[in-house]
């Protein structure tokens, strides 16, 4: 069987695993996969975070030969997976607090080193609030000490667990419970928020990557790459949230893909502070295609729509595309 | 071996002989000399295997200890004052998860106004967090309590705070014996965690518990903490057998046998208190002192027994609860007003408790002040129904806009 199949050849991002050599198949295609987060948990239908966490951890477990321990920040992932006396985790898992998961993971890594058990690898998981806001101090400390931890941020762009409030990762104009679409500047403000992958890169850690749940093979590959390295590694995964984004459950993958294809979410890798690879946009779309599917942007459309705000969002996407050279053609495919 | 050594250095040596595998450190006065010395010991390889994490905050320090302990490593950190408050969210988390972390608190005041000197406001603020809290009276006891703390913590799967007065003890140079390595090893076996993060036997630690079981989880925590009241004397006895030295325990008494008046306190102030007891005894005053070494869990029976038959108690507090009384004083008062398990230990019904705030923010509690306080109490000049502030400098209060109650208190 050939191994140089073009995964994109059929116009979708999917590729039949049975067409590939066993080595090329996804972790999830393996009936012996770890299934780190098993069924029966209480995530919402269409939850991007639950999907992302399963792919990340199963790939990490395979890469580490099963020797994984994980620390989890407070947040949706923690709440929906561990309502006592149930647990969806089929791996060693600890939850301490909201803002300290990076430090907890550093402590675990230090313990394993002192015990001579360095073959056991550490993965820390948090949502965007636990990463870019309340957890940033501990995370920055973990980065600068280059502790042997893979930190995964599942970014759903807001505090969804507490009822959809704005976080430092909420995009401009988005409606949240604390950025309502009222007043002259509806939704979240422009010009704020944190670009955590770039903040991570500024620490010059061995590996930084972004990924989405639209391209799960890419996500698995990046986890495997991260696990092949030591030191502080950071993976930022865009995980659409039907509840917080007011989107249809079946649109989770579609929205993640539109986020990348519009340029709003650049997909790239960086090593020691330098971008080493980007995922080019295959089929560029206007940001409107992405925004219009989400109730959190509904105030930008319709009779009282705000094309001026949509244009500002488009400018942000264009900036990303230029910054990471994501598309050779600057022209946006017209929306019809 | 006795040697002339700074308290912090002696504590660092004692901690090192307890073989911590992970130390997380963040600087704050007056605990810095402890973690500086430990840093030297790790860098030179004298303390190995041990990972020394220089974290970004006290919150990170205790969090790293939580992770390390959950991974089955013996973990240690030290802090004081604002640092203890900065890690406050993680403090009940460590105890709630049953992780036997040992932490030194070099007791220091809490601001504002900012003040780096000694009192007990920091440790008192965390008295309800589910940690065992031990208070050292001297540097020798501080050293000894650290060894005992690791033993206790790991036997009970509970974290222990060893409190030692900032500067007064941490920076004082005096003769101290740090138990030799073989002695410490005989007291403290390798850490066997109750539960551990292990890929071969995965567990979920830190699940979410709702109303259906939360009370029961907390009840078990309360029962577990009270077990320390049985275990602390056992560990102290084992320590005495191994070293020939009496250290630790729950409560200790000094010349209380026929005492009508007893001073209750914690920490280094007991040195001066005992001197005053000796002086007043020579004058025929029937006075004694009670040291509370274990503040949490509160040793109700032992305190009640120590104060049985006493006419009056003077509680010297190095902290207070603004708008109420004091923490130590209220525990003493409650102990004296609740029913004893047996009639033999029933205190005199008329035991009067004088709640006194002393030595805040590093103000020395001198023998003269203590003697004057006792004289005032015996002379009926101190109202037991009001919180009394020792050595209040009224000249500094002139012109201040005090409330009527405060004016009345003058």
Q: Would you call B54 an interface residue with chain A, using a CB distance cutoff of 8 Å?
A: yes
CA distance A126 to A79: 12
Of B67, B93, B199, the CB nearest to A91: B199
What torsion do the CA atoms of A278, A169, A87, B160 make, to the nearest 10 degrees? 110
**pLDDT, tens digit (0-9, with 9 covering 90-100), for B373-395:** 999 999 999 999 999 999 999 99
Q: Are both B184 and B313 inside the same structural domain?
A: no
Of A69, A84, A100, the CB nearest to B197: A69
Task: Check whether B58 has a pLDDT greater than 60.
Answer: yes
Q: What pLDDT was estimated at residue A116?
A: 97
Beta-ladder partners of A179: A176
CA A286 to chain B, closest CA, distance in angstroms equals 42
CA distance B136 to B132: 13
Element (H, E) at B292: strand B287-292
Q: Tell which phi-psi region holds residue B309, choosing left (phi > 0), alpha (psi between -120 and 50) or beta.
A: left
- Residue of B154, B165, B55, B65 whose CA lies nearest to B109: B165
CA B49 to chain A, closest CA, distance in angstroms equals 5
Q: Are both B362 and B213 inside the same structural domain?
A: no
Give contacts of B68 with chain A, Cβ < 8 Å. Answer: 107-108, 110-111
Task: Check whether B168 has a pLDDT greater than 70.
Answer: yes
* Final residue belonging to a domain, choices B219, B243, B267: B243
**pLDDT, tens digit (0-9, with 9 covering 90-100), for B280-329:** 999 999 999 999 999 999 999 999 999 999 999 999 999 999 999 999 99
Whether residue B49 is preceded by a cis peptide bond, meaning omega within 30 degrees of 0, is yes
Of A66, A72, A138, the CB nearest to B60: A138
Which of B24, B49, B57, B63 is the mutation pick for testing A, counting most A CBs within 10 A?
A: B63
Interface contact flag, A96 B206, Cβ < 8 Å: yes
Contact between A19 and A224 (Cβ < 8 Å): no
Give contacts of A114 with chain B, Cβ < 8 Å. Answer: 21-22, 49-51, 73
Task: Check whether B402 has a pLDDT greater than 70.
Answer: no
Interface contact flag, B55 A141, Cβ < 8 Å: yes
Interface contact flag, B55 A103, Cβ < 8 Å: yes
Give contacts of A85 with chain B, Cβ < 8 Å. Answer: 207, 213
Of A94, A137, A140, the CB nearest to B205: A94
CA distance B112 to B361: 11
CA A179 to chain B, closest CA, distance in angstroms equals 28
Q: Are strands A268-271 and A233-238 parallel, antiparallel or unpaired?
A: unpaired
Q: Are both B219 and B272 inside the same structural domain?
A: no
Interface contact flag, A83 B208, Cβ < 8 Å: yes
Q: Are both B320 and B178 inside the same structural domain?
A: no
Give contacts of A151 with chain B, Cβ < 8 Å. Answer: none
Residue B136 burial (CB count, 10 A) = 27
* Cα separation of the two ends of chain A: 41
Of B64, B201, B208, the CB nearest to A103: B64
The range of the structural domain enclosing residue B383 comes to: 251-409
Element (H, E) at A266: none
- For chains A and B, CB pairs below 8 A equal 164
Interface contact flag, A89 B204, Cβ < 8 Å: yes
Q: Are both B233 and B264 inside the same structural domain?
A: no
Q: Are both B232 and B260 inside the same structural domain?
A: no
Q: Are both B96 and B35 inside the same structural domain?
A: yes
* Final residue belonging to a domain, choices B243, B263, B286: B243
Residue B210 burial (CB count, 10 A) = 8
β strands within B147-259, DSSP E: 160-165, 173-177, 204-205, 251-254
Of A96, A103, A120, the CB nearest to B199: A120
- Can you list the alpha helix ranges (DSSP code H) found in A88-195? 101-114, 128, 136-144
Tokens representing B192 are: 């066997």
Of A96, A114, A138, the CB nearest to B93: A96
* Final residue belonging to a domain, choices B222, B243, B264: B243
Residue A277 burial (CB count, 10 A) = 12
Of A83, A89, A103, the CB nearest to B60: A103
Mean pLDDT of chain B: 95
Interface contact flag, B64 A79, Cβ < 8 Å: no
Q: Would you call B252 an interface residue with chain A, using a CB distance cutoff of 8 Å?
A: no
Domain range summary for chain A, segments of one domain joined by +: 33-324
User: What's the angle, vertex CA B51, arms to CA B45 and CA B54, rounded to 5?
Assistant: 110
Q: Are both B404 and B352 inside the same structural domain?
A: yes
Q: Would you call B69 an interface residue with chain A, using a CB distance cutoff of 8 Å?
A: yes
Interface contact flag, A103 B89, Cβ < 8 Å: no
Q: B329 to each of B143, B204, B266, B290, B320, how far by Cα in Å?
A: 27, 41, 11, 13, 9
Kindly report the CATH number assigned to the domain that includes residue B43.
Answer: 3.40.50.970
Give contacts of B70 with chain A, Cβ < 8 Å. Answer: 94, 104, 107-108
Task: Check whether B225 has a pLDDT greater than 60.
Answer: yes
Give contacts of A140 with chain B, Cβ < 8 Å. Answer: 56
Q: What pLDDT was estimated at residue B33?
A: 98
Task: Check whether B407 has a pLDDT greater than 90.
Answer: no
Give contacts of A34 with chain B, Cβ < 8 Å. Answer: none
Interface contact flag, A141 B57, Cβ < 8 Å: yes
Which of A72, A96, A101, A149 is the mutation pick for testing B, counting most B CBs within 10 A?
A: A96
Q: Is A184 exposed, middle or buried (0-12, 13-18, 19+ CB in 10 A)?
A: exposed
CA distance A106 to A219: 23
ipTM: 0.95
Q: What pLDDT was estimated at residue A31?
A: 83
Interface contact flag, A106 B53, Cβ < 8 Å: yes
CA B92 to chain A, closest CA, distance in angstroms equals 10
Q: Which is it for the CA torsion A262, A267, A270, A273, positive or negative? A: positive
Interface contact flag, B60 A100, Cβ < 8 Å: yes
Closest B-chain CA to A135: B60
Q: What pLDDT was estimated at residue A1?
A: 45
CA A129 to chain B, closest CA, distance in angstroms equals 17
Of A84, A90, A112, the CB nearest to B202: A90
- Residue of A173, A167, A165, A176 whose CA lies nearest to A136: A167
Quote the pTM value.
0.95
Contact between B364 and B273 (Cβ < 8 Å): no
CA B8 to chain A, closest CA, distance in angstroms equals 24
* A272 three-state secondary structure: coil
Q: What pLDDT was estimated at residue A197?
A: 98
Contact between B54 and B38 (Cβ < 8 Å): no
Q: Would you call B27 an interface residue with chain A, using a CB distance cutoff of 8 Å?
A: no
Give contacts of B72 with chain A, Cβ < 8 Å. Answer: 111, 115
Q: Specify the number of domains making up chain B.
A: 2
- In chain A, DSSP finds a helix count (H) and a strand count (E) of 11, 8
Q: Are both B157 and B268 inside the same structural domain?
A: no
Beta-ladder partners of A155: A238
The segments of chain A whose pLDDT lies below 50 read 1-2, 8-13, 336
CA distance A96 to B97: 8
CA distance B277 to B253: 12
CA A130 to chain B, closest CA, distance in angstroms equals 14
Contact between A140 and B52 (Cβ < 8 Å): no
A130 Cβ contact list (under 8 Å, min separation 6): A73, A74, A75, A98, A99, A101, A153
Give contacts of B207 with chain A, Cβ < 8 Å. Answer: 82-85, 87, 95
Q: B272 to each of B263, B276, B365, B368, how far by Cα in Å?
A: 11, 6, 8, 9
Closest B-chain CA to A110: B51
Element (H, E) at B209: none
Q: Are both B263 and B301 inside the same structural domain?
A: yes
- Can you list the alpha helix ranges (DSSP code H) found in chain A? 48-63, 76-81, 101-114, 128, 136-144, 196-202, 216-227, 242-245, 252-261, 287-291, 307-324
Backbone angles phi, psi at A66, to 5 degrees: 95, -10
Angle between helices A136-144 and A101-114 (to 10 degrees): 30
Q: Are both B132 and B54 inside the same structural domain?
A: yes
Q: Are both B161 and B212 inside the same structural domain?
A: yes
Instruction: Identify the CATH number of the domain defined by range A33-324.
Output: 3.40.50.970
Give contacts of B16 with chain A, Cβ < 8 Å. Answer: none
Which of A40, A70, A111 is the mutation pick for testing B, counting most B CBs within 10 A?
A: A111
Element (H, E) at B329: helix B327-337
Kindly report the CATH number assigned to the domain that includes residue B286.
Answer: 3.40.50.920
Angle between helices A216-227 and A48-63 (to 10 degrees): 40
- Residue of A22, A2, A102, A96 whose CA lies nearest to A62: A22
CA distance B374 to A72: 55
Identify the residue with better confidence: B407 or A2: B407
CA distance A51 to A46: 8
CA B216 to chain A, closest CA, distance in angstroms equals 13
Q: What pLDDT was estimated at residue A10?
A: 45
Q: What pLDDT was estimated at residue A18?
A: 67
């Amino acid at each position: 069987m050939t191994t140089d199949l073009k995964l994109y050849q059929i116009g979708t991002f999917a590729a039949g695993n049975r067409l590939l050599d066993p080595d090329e198949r996804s972790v999830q295609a393996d009936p012996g996969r770890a299934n780190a987060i098993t069924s029966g948990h209480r995530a919402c239908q269409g939850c991007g975070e639950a999907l992302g966490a399963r792919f990340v951890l199963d790939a990490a477990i395979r890469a580490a030969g099963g020797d994984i321990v994980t620390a989890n920040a407070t947040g949706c992932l923690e709440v929906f997976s561990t309502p006592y006396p149930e647990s969806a985790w089929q791996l060693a898992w600890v939850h301490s607090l909201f803002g300290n998961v990076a430090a907890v993971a550093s402590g675990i890594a230090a313990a394993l080193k002192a015990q001579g058990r360095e073959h056991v690898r550490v993965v820390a998981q948090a949502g965007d609030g636990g990463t870019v806001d309340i957890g940033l101090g501990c995370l920055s400390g973990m980065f600068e000490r280059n502790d042997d931890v893979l930190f995964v941020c599942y970014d759903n762009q807001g505090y969804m667990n507490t009822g959809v409030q704005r976080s430092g990762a909420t995009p401009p104009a988005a409606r949240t419970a604390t950025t309502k679409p009222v007043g002259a500047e509806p939704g979240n403000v422009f010009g704020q928020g944190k670009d955590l992958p770039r903040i991570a890169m500024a620490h010059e850690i061995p590996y930084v990557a972004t990924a989405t749940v639209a391209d799960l093979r890419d996500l698995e590959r990046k986890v495997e790459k991260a696990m092949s390295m030591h030191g502080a590694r950071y993976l930022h995964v865009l995980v659409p949230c039907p509840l917080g984004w007011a989107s249809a459950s079946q649109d989770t993958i579609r929205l993640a893909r539109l986020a990348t294809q519009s340029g709003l979410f650049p997909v790239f890798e960086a090593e020691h502070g330098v971008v080493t690879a980007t995922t080019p946009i295959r089929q560029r779309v206007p940001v409107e295609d992405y925004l219009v599917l989400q109730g959190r942007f509904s105030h930008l459309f319709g009779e009282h729509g705000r094309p001026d705000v949509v244009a500002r969002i488009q400018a942000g996407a264009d900036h990303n595309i230029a910054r990471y050279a994501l598309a050779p053609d600057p022209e946006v495919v017209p929306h019809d | 071996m006795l040697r002339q050594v700074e308290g912090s250095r002696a504590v660092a040596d004692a901690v090192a002989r307890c073989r911590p595998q992970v130390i997380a450190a963040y600087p704050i006065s007056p605990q810095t000399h402890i973690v500086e010395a430990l840093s030297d010991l790790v860098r030179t390889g004298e303390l190995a295997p041990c990972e020394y994490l220089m974290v970004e905050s006290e919150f990170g320090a205790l969090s790293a200890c939580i992770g390390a302990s959950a991974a089955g490593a013996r973990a240690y950190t030290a802090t004081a004052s604002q640092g203890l408050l900065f890690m406050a969210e993680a403090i009940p988390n460590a105890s709630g998860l049953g992780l036997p972390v040992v932490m030194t608190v070099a007791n220091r005041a809490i601001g504002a106004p900012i003040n780096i000197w000694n009192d007990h406001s920091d440790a008192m603020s965390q008295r309800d967090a589910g940690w065992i809290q031990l208070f050292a009276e001297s540097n020798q006891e501080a050293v000894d309590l650290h060894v005992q703390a690791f033993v206790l913590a790991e036997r009970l799967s509970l974290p222990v705070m060893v409190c030692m007065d900032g500067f007064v003890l941490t920076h004082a140079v005096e003769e101290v014996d740090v138990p030799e390595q073989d002695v410490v090893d005989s007291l403290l076996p390798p850490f066997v965690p109750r539960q551990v993060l292990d890929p071969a036997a995965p567990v979920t630690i830190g699940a979410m518990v709702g109303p259906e079981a939360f009370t029961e989880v907390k009840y078990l925590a309360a029962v577990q903490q009270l077990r320390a009241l049985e275990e602390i004397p056992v560990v102290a006895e084992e320590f005495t057998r191994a070293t020939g030295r009496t250290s630790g325990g729950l409560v200790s008494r000094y010349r209380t046998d026929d005492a009508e008046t007893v001073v209750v306190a914690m920490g280094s102030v007991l040195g001066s208190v005992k001197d005053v007891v000796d002086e007043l005894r020579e004058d025929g005053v029937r006075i004694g002192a009670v040291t509370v070494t274990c503040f949490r869990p509160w040793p109700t029976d032992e305190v009640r027994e120590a104060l049985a038959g006493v006419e009056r108690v003077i509680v010297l507090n190095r902290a207070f609860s603004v708008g109420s009384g004091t923490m130590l004083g209220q525990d003493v008062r409650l102990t004296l007003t609740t029913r004893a398990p047996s009639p033999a230990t029933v205190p005199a019904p008329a035991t009067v408790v004088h709640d006194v705030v002393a030595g805040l923010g590093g103000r020395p509690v001198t023998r003269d002040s203590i003697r004057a306080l006792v004289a005032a109490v015996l002379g009926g000049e101190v109202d037991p129904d009001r919180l009394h502030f020792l050595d209040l400098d009224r000249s500094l209060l002139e012109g201040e806009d005090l409330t009527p109650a405060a004016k009345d208190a003058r």
